[in-house]
A = this chain, B = another copy of it.
């Protein structure tokens, strides 16, 4: 795995921040789909809406290179000049996300292949194998052209590499990928016996004698070797990262000061944001909370916190969100009035410096024509465009929010390797999804008003008082020891079931679960008990549990919660100066929230504001000279907020100033400012 070190020596984002003069506002813009007349109208409407950044060229390869090595940049030359004239910054894409028809016609071997051996057809997008040398070569040549041409263009503020890596093709199973996988394995394992040992190939007579025998985990008669599957997810992530880095190298060479990003996707498993983040200059994400889901903002908050963890808390960009409905759900709900504004500010509350949309103008044709946009099919005389212009005005009212940071004392642990391993087949319960398990813990924290970071177990944990490990299935002895030491040194740890089960190669830590944390937790688990579908167990106190329980023996811990039959459901162990809790089942949400509240209180971790009404979120951002309090009413009722006395004097969005109480309308937002506290 790449080292998880954020390159903090060179901050390439300051220049971008300076150009923008505040938060970024805008979106993907695809003027190649439109006439010059529409483009002219677009500029007027952008001015009206306060757009200061547009992403251009994401799907332009077939336009700029209509035949091999014949480049025609005239359209983008003019476009970038026009943007520069209007003071709009370009987030220029490298155009490599969708190879043009001539390339797949000439080289059908770059088309990705599924685990079933189906070579996918062009006609949509992302039709390439990430390991393909042909694809990589053609992509790099294109980026070389782009970088040469536009490195010094005055409109250029940011490079946007590719688009949503892995979105449709998270792994390719072709023979080229197979060869690349074997090379990757040769680098990872000293020799074939090391691999045999790591993959436990004695099971089912899978012992290899040469690397040449190894294949991707294509469709097999029965379940494929889990360590092979796990390594293939690692490899596939790396293959995409290699594509990214090849492009980044070209860009860096031509424009060393222009920051580089690539847009991740919220809640997307195949790409390890925490490994990629340090390789970007600024992290960015596409997030599409479901308007039909009343708790969508909580999952969105989690995604934002995960992303922020990718670059050690740096500000980030909401690269894509929808102005209204998307077009890929079974039923695509719209954002009711005010919701787009609320969720945009929520991103800022979680540390975003950019509020961007896919896309500026709704497409007339193609697969995304019913995906909403800042300018709908019906044109600017619409509710949506009016809300867009209002949002642009508001964001501009808080320019110095840009660059401010989020500081938290609680963290949730997430390890992409563990995520991959947790969701492999042949587990005690087959539907343990990492995101669900994260939300089991994250949602109570969110509702308690306790903001968290989401970090890897090998991150610097010294600043945290409370760590929560939700079903952290894969945990190395080393990371287990670090957590144990952190606890002994006074930390407060809470782990949930199926944590600490296997090593890096999906091999069980023997002698009783959860091996590397048994000392800290003071327990020993003999056996997992999958609960039947729909089966619920009572607790000895009020509350219930389901999905999973364990035969658990106390070895120093005490039972903090017990099942009705007296066996422990949750345990507490004092280890060194700290405490370690274990939750051996899925508790009902209220019981889980109480348990987490107790742990937080013991850890001296508190909500941003005390006694907030349920459904109101409060967040702090810390600038060099100022602090910001962002209040978000996620309910459909007005809410009354009491603020700390004489602290938050300045309301940025509301006329109201200097009061210690606040009426927040349904789905309302308030942003308040106060001078920064002196460093402590």
Contact = CB atoms under 8 A, between A and B. Distances in A.
A146 to B, nearest CB: 14
A125 interface: yes
Nearest to A31: B202
Given A325-B530, A530-B333, A377 B121 contact: no
A484 interface: no
A220 interface: yes
Nearest to A424: B367
Taken together, the copies of this chain in the complex come to: 3
A268 interface: no
Interface in A378-421: 378-379, 382-384
Given A202-B30, A510-B377, A218 B67 contact: no
Interface string A636-669: 0000000000000000000000000000000000
A50 interface: no
Interface in A190-249: 199-209, 212-228
A297 interface: no
Contacts of A213: 101-102, 105
Contacts of A513: 377-378
Contact of A225 (B95, B202, B227, B366): B366
A458 interface: no
Contact of A205 (B99, B207, B215, B376): B99
Contacts of A216: 121
A367 B223 contact: yes
B200 A512 contact: no
A98 interface: yes
Nearest to A167: B222
Contact of A429 (B330, B511, B529): B330
A229 to B, nearest CB: 9
A123 B206 contact: yes
A98 B204 contact: yes
B219 A120 contact: yes
Interface stretch (A57-65, A132-140, A582-590, A620-628): A57-65
Interface string A85-111: 000000000010111111001000000
Interface stretch (A2-10, A250-258, A437-445, A520-528): A520-528
A331 interface: yes
A425 interface: yes
B333 A529 contact: yes
A390 to B, nearest CB: 16
A328 B117 contact: no
B384 A204 contact: no
A512 B376 CA distance: 9
A251 to B, nearest CB: 20
Contacts of A324: 527
A427 interface: yes
A327 interface: yes
A571 to B, nearest CB: 16
Contact of A507 (B228, B364, B426, B429): B364
Given A325-B428, A428-B370, A530-B331, A33 B95 contact: no
A532 interface: yes
Contacts of A220: 120-124, 127
B527 A372 contact: yes
A506 interface: yes
A122 B215 contact: yes
B331 A533 contact: yes
Contact of A203 (B95, B368, B532): B368
B117 A116 contact: no
Contacts of A382: 526-527
B100 A365 contact: no
A102 B429 contact: no
B508 A330 contact: no
Contacts of A531: 331, 333
A612 B329 CA distance: 44
A332 interface: yes
B365 A200 contact: yes
A473 to B, nearest CB: 11
Given A101-B208, A382-B526, 9 more contacts: A59-B202, A62-B206, A62-B207, A100-B207, A124-B225, A223-B367, A325-B527, A333-B532, A370-B427
Interface of A: 30, 32-33, 59-63, 66-67, 95, 97-102, 105, 112, 116-127, 167-169, 199-209, 212-228, 292, 324-325, 327-334, 362-372, 376-379, 382-384, 425-431, 505-508, 510-513, 524-533, 535, 551
